[in-house]
Amino acid sequence: MIKDKIKLLKADITTLRVDAIVNAANTSLLGGGGVDGAIHRAAGPELLDECRTLRGCSTGQAKITRGYRLPAKHVIHTVGPVWHGGRQGEPALLASCYTSSLKLAKENDVKTIAFPAISCGVYGYPVSQAAMIAVKETVTFLEKNPELDSVSFVCFDDDVYEAYQHALDTFTKDEVSK
Ligand code: ADP
């Protein structure tokens, strides 16, 4: 069942021993605050060196690097949209962050992946809407790509955890009857 492959965790994403963790990066890919800063601190300066070679990343796209000193093998850097009220393409761009990251994972033989709540910090995306997009895109991808073993959503804050729990119930509630 798809639901068994999706986990909600309250954790620091930098501590997870998975094939890839996803970074909520900015278009420069040269580091920032929030989860981005935490990932660069834990991975060490070699991560920044590799990121410099990538020449940035557009909003909604993703790029992969090694994980260096992280327990995770890879970091998939994706750039979430800044929330401007929802009428500037934010939902499609956020959905694209998840699908681009999952596609890159598949291409790199990543079987276990963990996402932070992309755009839900400094970028200001309403958490309940962002959680719905994250879960919907992930469920759709897992239906088509059974080779991916597990997708964890790392919920640093309690409101994020509750929003993901609700989204997961919404998108997997009919699964038992299938
Ligand atoms: P964005 O700029 O995309 O909004 P942020 O890093 O500001 O990204 O926040 C994204 C989410 O990541 C927020 O919910 C924030 O609480 C969470 N977060 C911050 N640090 C960590 C961490 N070490 N592990 C997991 N999630 C984190």
Q: Using a 6 Å cutoff on CB, does residue 79 contact ligand 1?
A: no
Contact status, residue 41 vs residue 47, Cβ threshold 8 Å:
no
Backbone dihedral angles phi then psi of residue 79, each to the nearest 5 degrees: -115, 110
User: What's this model's pTM, rounded to 2 decimal places?
Assistant: 0.97
Atom 20, ligand 1: residue with shortest CA distance: 35
Enter the tokens of residue 150.
Answer: 């597990």
Say how many Å lie between the first and final Cα of the chain, rounded: 10
Enter the tokens of residue 29.
Answer: 């890919």
Q: Using a 6 Å cutoff on CB, does residue 132 contact ligand 1?
A: no
- In one letter, which amino acid is 107? E
pLDDT beyond 60 at 144: yes
Nearest-10 crossing angle of helices 158-172, 127-144: 40
- Going by C-alpha positions, the residue among 13, 111, 118 that lies closest to residue 62 is 118
Atom 10, ligand 1: residue with shortest CA distance: 121
Beta strand ranges found along 39-149 (DSSP E) = 62-66, 74-79, 112-115
In percent, the amount of the chain with pLDDT more than 90 equals 96
Active site residue 36: yes
pLDDT beyond 50 at 32: yes
pLDDT beyond 80 at 174: no
pLDDT beyond 50 at 73: yes
How far apart, in Å, are the Cα atoms of 104 and each of 59, 75, 146, 168? 15, 11, 15, 23
- Going by C-alpha positions, the residue among 75, 140, 72 that lies closest to residue 105 is 75
What is the separation of C-alpha 147 from the centre of its chain, rounded to a whole number of angstroms? 18
Decide: helix, strand or coil at residue 140.
helix
Contact status, residue 111 vs residue 123, Cβ threshold 8 Å:
no
115 C-alpha to center of ligand 1: Å? Answer: 10
35 C-alpha to center of ligand 1: Å? Answer: 4
Tens of pLDDT, residue by residue over 98-141, are 999 999 999 999 999 999 999 999 999 999 999 999 999 999 99
Sign of CA dihedral 135, 157, 70, 5: negative
Label residue 176 by pLDDT band (50, 70, 90): low
